[in-house]
Every structure is written in structure tokens, then in C-alpha cells.
Amino acid sequence: MCVHLLGNRDEAQDALQEVYVQVWHHAGEYHADRGTPLTWMMSICRYRCLDVLRKRQREAGGDNMINSLQCERPGPMQNAMASIDRHRLNDCLRDLDEGYRTSIEMAYFRGLSHQQLAQAMGQPLGTAKSWLRRGLDTLRRCLSQ
């Protein structure tokens, strides 16, 4: 990925080394509920490569290459990882109790607030919050397996 983005093997090796160090030092900041470890590391790698490109462009006096990379569509690897993550998420959501699944779908996919969620489900606010929290905890455990 680094070689593809940077186009220079030496810069790519340096960037990848910095990514490994960053992953090592910040491993505790990884959140399993936000994606797989590989997607987390790939995003760190992409941003590190963009930093190298920004530095290169500042030294050269332009920023056209950076703008084109930031607008670039996801590559095959990112699409494959996103597809795997979506399938796992759907499988785990399907296994949840109906109340938990419904509360997560309404809050995170439809954007309802806790109060709106409680009203839509015909439940007290505390119950809606509890279902949401328990559902997220169950979902997190399922996704981490």
C-alpha cells in the first residue's frame, strides 16, 4: 500500500516503519467496535503516506497529488475489508434479541436520539438506553470473536 501511494520504495519502507512504531505505541487506542485491526492499521498507514506526500509537496511547492489522493475511491483491499466487516456486522445484528437490534438500528442507522428512540419503541427512556447499551455490548462481543 505504501509503495502504491508513495511511488518510491525507500520512502514507503520508511513510512511503513513509522506505521509499525505508531501501531505499537498506540495499540491501546484500538477500538474493536470501529473495525478490524487490519482496517485500523491500514488507515494509519494511509494517513502516514499522506503526511509524507504533504511534506514532499511542500518541499516541491504544490499540492495537486495530495488532493487527487484524498478524492480517490477506495481500492480493492479497502472494499474487500469493508465487505467482510459489513457481513460480520449483519450476522451479529441478526443474532441479537429483537429489542436490542431494533434499538441499535434506530439509534445508529436512522439517527434517533435516546428520547426519540424511547418514544418510537414505546418504552421509558431508561429502558431504551439499557437496551441500546446491552445490545452494543453484545454486538461488540460478537464482533470481537
pLDDT in tens, 57-113: 877 765 555 555 554 566 666 666 666 677 888 888 899 999 999 998 888 888 888
> CA distances (Å), 8 to each of 13, 24, 66, 70, 132, in order?
9, 24, 15, 18, 47
Domain residue limits at 92: 82-145
User: Same domain for 48 and 89?
Assistant: no
Query: Are 9 and 50 found together in one domain?
Result: yes
109 & 62 share domain:
no
Domain end among 53, 72, 91: 72
Position 77 in a domain: no
- The confidence score (pLDDT) of residue 96 equals 92
- The CATH number of the domain holding residue 113 is 1.10.10.10
Residues 10 and 64 in one domain: yes
- 68 and 87 housed in the same domain: no
pLDDT at 127 over 70: yes
Number of separate domains in the chain: 2
Please indicate, yes or no, whether residues 63 and 100 belong to a single structural domain of this protein.
no
Q: How far is CA 27 from CA 30, 31, 38, 66, in A?
A: 6, 9, 12, 27
Residues 90 and 29 in one domain: no
Contact (CB, 8 A) for 36 and 85: yes
CA Rg, the chain, in Å?
Answer: 20
Task: Among 1-5, 40-44, 74-78, 96-100, name the most confident range.
Answer: 96-100
Q: Look at residue 62 and tell me if it is in a domain.
A: yes
pTM of the model: 0.47
Q: What is the C-alpha to C-alpha distance for residues 38 and 53, in angstroms, rounded to an integer?
A: 22
pLDDT at 19 exceeding the cut of 70: yes
